[in-house]
């Protein structure tokens, strides 16, 4: 009996850490990447989208119960390259620019049901974005005639999402998701670089359909 009791205690000491690690609640960290496919720019750029950008992101969150999670995330989309070409006053005109967006969002998720390793969910988030327009070059008949000054601004940002978690280990999950992301408002500068010549601001709302993949590690 003495040896049986000692064996039981040894087994308990080994299994205790594993039991603790399987606790589904608590803090987690996440990293994410993906692709952002912008929709119509809206307003002054109603017939122009911003193209496609890669996404990189990271965050910290907490699982509250079996269904709800919350996290705060930072996301960077720095590779949109909008362009325009057309005939203006009988001349072939074109323009191109670089658009970047850095966002900070608070998100809430509802895990619908657990199906073996898969847990589908829906979610929403809101926060702020820092949007930049730079390298805004204008050309006529193939010759660059000037650059519009850079401009940065902060705007309200939000997203809605749907996806699924895929359990890899008790502590590690793969996150596959679709997002509709709205980074809010952005606009160009209003002067030609290096001169005092004023030009109208070109403004738009940055909206995108996105596919993301991430890893989430629970402590």
Domain boundaries of the chain, sorted by first residue = 26-218
pTM for this entry:
0.83
* pLDDT cut 90: percent of the chain above it: 66
Examine the pLDDT at 8 and tell me if it is beyond 50: no
Mean pLDDT of 41-49: 67
Between 132 and 6, the more confident residue is: 132
Cα–Cα distance between 131 and 192 in angstroms, integer? 20
From 102, 99, 181, 96, select the one nearest 136 (Cα to Cα).
96
DSSP letter (8 states) at residue 44: T
Pairing state of beta strands 151-167 and 118-140? antiparallel
> What mean pLDDT value characterizes the chain?
87
Cα–Cα distance between 147 and 176 in angstroms, integer? 40
From 106, 103, 84, select the one nearest 95 (Cα to Cα).
84
Out of 41-50, 52-61, 108-117, 154-163, which region has the weakest mean confidence (pLDDT)?
41-50
Examine the pLDDT at 13 and tell me if it is beyond 70: no
Cα–Cα distance between 75 and 77 in angstroms, integer? 7
Dihedral-angle region of residue 162 (phi above 0 means left; psi in -120 to 50 means alpha; beta otherwise): beta
Examine the pLDDT at 205 and tell me if it is beyond 60: yes
Examine the pLDDT at 89 and tell me if it is beyond 70: yes
What pLDDT was estimated at residue 145? 87
Cα–Cα distance between 123 and 61 in angstroms, integer? 14
What pLDDT was estimated at residue 7? 43
Tens digit of each residue's pLDDT (9 = 90 or more) over 137-165: 989 888 888 899 999 999 999 999 999 99
Cα–Cα distance between 76 and 183 in angstroms, integer? 11
Between 207 and 49, the more confident residue is: 207
Pairing state of beta strands 83-88 and 91-111? antiparallel
What pLDDT was estimated at residue 218? 95
What pLDDT was estimated at residue 2? 46
From 106, 112, 81, select the one nearest 159 (Cα to Cα).
106
Cα–Cα distance between 160 and 162 in angstroms, integer? 7
Tens digit of each residue's pLDDT (9 = 90 or more) over 105-117: 999 999 999 999 9
Examine the pLDDT at 4 and tell me if it is beyond 80: no
Fold held by 26-218: Porin (2.40.160)
Examine the pLDDT at 91 and tell me if it is beyond 90: no
């Amino acid at each position: 009996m003495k040896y049986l009791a000692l064996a039981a205690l040894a087994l308990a000491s080994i299994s205790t850490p594993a039991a603790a690690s399987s606790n589904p609640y608590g803090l987690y960290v996440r990293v994410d990447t993906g692709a952002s496919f912008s929709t119509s720019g809206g307003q002054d750029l109603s017939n122009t989208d911003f193209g496609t950008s890669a996404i990189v992101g990271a965050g910290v969150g907490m699982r509250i119960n079996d269904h709800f999670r919350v996290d705060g995330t930072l996301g960077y989309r720095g590779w949109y390259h909008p362009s325009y070409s057309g005939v203006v006053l009988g001349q072939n005109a074109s323009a191109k620019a670089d658009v970047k967006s850095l966002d900070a969002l608070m998100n809430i998720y509802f895990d619908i049901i657990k199906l073996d390793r898969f847990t589908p969910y829906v979610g929403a988030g809101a926060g702020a974005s820092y949007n930049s327009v730079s390298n805004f070059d204008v050309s006529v008949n193939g010759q660059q005639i000037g650059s519009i000054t850079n401009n940065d601004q902060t705007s309200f940002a939000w997203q809605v999402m749907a996806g699924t978690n895929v359990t890899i280990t008790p502590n590690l999950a793969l996150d596959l998701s679709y997002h509709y992301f709205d980074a809010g408002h952005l606009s160009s500068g209003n002067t030609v670089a290096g001169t005092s010549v004023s030009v109208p601001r070109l403004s738009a709302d940055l909206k995108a359909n996105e596919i993301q993949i991430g890893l989430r590690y629970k402590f």
